[in-house]
With several copies, the nearest count.
Chain A
Amino acid sequence: MRLAFTEDQQLFRETVRDFLAASCTTEHLRAAWAADTAVSSRWAELAKIGVTGLVVPEEQDGLGLTDEELSAVLEQAGYAALPEPLLESAVAAGLLAEFAPDAGWLEKISAGEATASVLLPGQPFAIEAATADVLVVGLVNASGEAEVHVANPADYDLVAQRSVDRSRKLFRVGFAPEPESLVASGSAAAAALARAADRGALGASALLLGLAKRMLDMGVEYAKQRVQRGVLIGTHQSVQHHLANVLIKIEFARPVVMRAAYSLARDLPSAARDVSMAKIYAAEAADLAARNSLQVHGAIGYTEEHDLQLFMKRAWALGAAWGDSGHHRARVAADLLSEAPAPLTPGF
């Protein structure tokens, strides 16, 4: 019984953290906001430390790691609000590895020479679809059957949208399925798409956890330095309690997210329920972190010049992405209220 990352996982995590601290500053984020794409030379750098190919099988030059390592890394990506579509590429990579391992995309993703994006059933927009080298599309066809397609830019047209988080480059995708693009259908496709959605929700949870921690740290820093009427605002009980309440949410969300990663990495029966629970807790932590950190910052936090908004806006967007809390609550309830709920992880 160990509910903690292994030393290797910790090491990997710290490597990514240090890299992002240097190469993904808020100046970089503002640049990504202004650009047409959030993908920069950083993508190739991330490849060098194995991040882009983290879940790509070793046969395709990836690290062949699991959702455990992925979520550990994504928490750091969230802390830095990394603008590149790391999660989307990882979700796409999972589907490519299953249905199109030899198409050559995985090697390119591992090498940082390509980015992938993904559009799952029910997902309104695809991120970075205009710059992604490959777009993996999941859909339910007219006869109600699941299909997975590997689409090339030629196969679809895009309508650019504008997210409140300008580093999320969203596109509505008009995709006409072709027999050539079809790589899987039926129950295999359905299972893979469900698995992909869970990876997306788990990844979003890890990102939200990192975002929450970042916004808390910003609030704490500010409260330690900001003097108002001659006193540090951090000495006000209301400020202390705002921040303490955020820490409580984060500290309880963390083991929930870690457990979900463990379950999903092993495809345990409780995986779907555990992932939904993770998304609910992480989104709530990030939501409270945004509100309370903003309240602690006061008017300065409400300005565009202040960096807090970069993280708040990403948190709001991710809270609704990959299934909002209502969606995931319904999933947890459906399992718990069923005749035979999935056994607990860890067992009991």
Chain B
Amino acid sequence: MDLEFSPKEQEFRQEVRSWLEANVPATPLPSMDTEEGFRLHQEWEKKLFDARWAVVSWPQEYGGREAGLTEWLIFEEEYYRAGAPGRVSQNGIFLFAPTVFEFGSKEQQDRYLPKMASGEEIWVQGWSEPEAGSDLANVRSRADRDEERGGWVLNGQKIWSSRGTYGHRLFGLFRTDPESRRHHGLTYFMVDLASPGVTVRPIPQLDGEPGFAEVFLDDVFVPDADVLGGAGEGWKIMIATTGSERGLNLRSPGRFLAPANRLLDLYKERGGGDQVLRDAAVQAWMDAEAYRLFTFGTVTKLLDGGQIGADSSINKVFWSQMDVELHATALRLLGGYGELDEGSPDAVDGSRWLDGFLFALGGPIYAGTNEIQRNTIAERILGLPRAK
């Protein structure tokens, strides 16, 4: 084992840290799911992009630094440590971009990636459909061929599209072979949400913000230039992206340490020596540490040429539960002040703990419910027979 960072890596960390210290907004930006907050988060992305910090692992030509896996992790650790704004462009740069790099044409890469990296164009995912649940193969939205115009006409409905309310472009699967079922006959489209026939209906979530939206498509024309890969190859292509979504573990090993450390501070202020709350706060901190170590283990595996695969299901169940417990513990520490929402003069830390709790509650549900993740673990890792 070697749990040291190389001098070069440490230097990189220093560079990241000092830039962030100099540039991270002093006061948190408003929620990226409000109109103003969305705009301010776009501006922040532009600032990152101009300093080449927006997409560190990307090639130079698209604004990246070709950073290796470890450097990328260092960047992510520092980013969370600095309490920098959430990444409004994450669906694009983290989930979608890998697919574009792998399956997009050079023309598509040149057309999409720079604006994606600069935050000028925010991408929206169009995976779920009503009735389909977490089963991505259950696509009913269809695309019919339009030879004349050289493209496709899309009809249907996507739901739970995060950033959908204010985003610009949607990526998702549509059924191009009406006869097909399940994984077959699906094609990967990139839809300009400004196109005629697109209706976006914001869906406010528990915290009241329209974090995701329902997208209705009525005879929406999409040119061939906006088809990713070949017709009918959608499923194969999509796998990569969902892989990275569920592999959120690679988003940041330090992701939960910052709130865990704040929780310890909250305990010091308000715990009054209560041992049960002490253990709960310490457990949250240890889980954040364990998450970080698990991530380093995964990275080592990747550097050795291994795959993440179903491990990401293990990771997803763990972090989503930890995130809920961490914030639930904070609310217990706040007692009668825990219910105070933003806008309350007496709210502690601007109600960030309540916001965090409401946000965390989505974790066990999204990107495949934890029940589905456990089935996946049982079947794909433990090799148990398919659940009845």
Contact = CB atoms under 8 A, between A and B. Distances in A.
A and B touch in the complex (CB under 8 A): yes
A187 interface: no
Interface string B315-335: 001100000000000011011
A108 B138 CA distance: 60
B305 interface: no
Interface stretch (A35-43, A196-204, A329-337): A329-337
B336 A320 contact: yes
A234 B384 contact: yes
Please report whether the interface of chain A is mostly helix, strand, loop or mixed according to DSSP.
Answer: helix
A1 B388 contact: no
A281 interface: yes
B339 A240 contact: no
Most chain B C-beta atoms within 10 Å of own C-beta, residue among A235, A238, A299, A303: A299
Given A161-B345, A232-B385, A346-B5, A252 B294 contact: yes
Nearest to A224: B384
Contacts of B279: 329, 333
Nearest to B209: A304
Contact of B338 (A168, A235, A251, A320): A320
Contacts of A317: 339
Interface in B339-374: 339-347, 354, 358, 361-362, 364-366, 369-371, 373-374
Contacts of A336: 264, 282, 285
Interface in B283-331: 283, 285-286, 289-291, 293-294, 296-297, 299-301, 303-304, 311, 314, 317-318, 331
Interface residues of B, number: 94
A244 B346 contact: no
Contacts of A162: 340-344, 347
B45 interface: no
B3 interface: yes
Interface size class of A (residues with CB under 8 A): 35 or more
Contacts of B338: 316, 320
Interface in A193-225: 220, 223-224
A159 to B, nearest CB: 5
Interface string A1-41: 11111100000000000000000000000000000000000
B323 to A, nearest CB: 13
Contacts of B304: 4
B261 to A, nearest CB: 9
Nearest to B133: A228
A326 B135 contact: no
A209 to B, nearest CB: 13
A219 B387 CA distance: 16
A154 B93 CA distance: 58
Contact of A243 (B291, B354, B378): B378
Contacts of A239: 371, 384
Nearest to A258: B1
Contacts, number: 248
A241 B318 contact: no
A295 interface: yes
Contacts of B371: 236-239, 241, 295
B294 A236 contact: no
Contacts of A232: 385
A239 B301 CA distance: 29
Interface stretch (B20-28, B102-110, B270-278): B270-278
A347 B382 contact: no
Interface string A154-175: 0000011111110010101000
Contact of A124 (B300, B303, B331, B346): B346
Contacts of A303: 203-206
B245 to A, nearest CB: 15
Interface string A305-318: 10001001000110
Contacts of B206: 302-304, 309, 312
B5 A347 contact: yes
A281 B290 contact: yes
B179 interface: no
A337 B382 contact: no
B282 A244 contact: no
B293 A259 contact: yes
B377 interface: yes
Given A237-B387, A324-B332, A4 B341 contact: no
A152 interface: no
Contacts of B374: 238, 240-241, 244-245
Contacts of B332: 320, 324, 326
5 contacts: A1-B9, A235-B385, A240-B375, A255-B290, A326-B277
Given A164-B340, A251-B314, A301-B365, 17 more contacts: A4-B304, A68-B1, A162-B343, A164-B341, A164-B354, A224-B385, A240-B377, A243-B378, A255-B290, A259-B3, A261-B1, A298-B369, A302-B362, A324-B335, A346-B4, A347-B4, A348-B77
Interface of B: 1-6, 9, 70, 77, 81, 128, 131-135, 138, 159-160, 203-206, 208, 254, 257, 264, 267-268, 274, 276-279, 282-283, 285-286, 289-291, 293-294, 296-297, 299-301, 303-304, 311, 314, 317-318, 331-332, 334-347, 354, 358, 361-362, 364-366, 369-371, 373-375, 377-379, 381-388
8 closest Cβ pairs, A-B complex: A240-B378, A228-B133, A346-B3, A255-B293, A304-B204, A244-B377, A244-B374, A161-B344
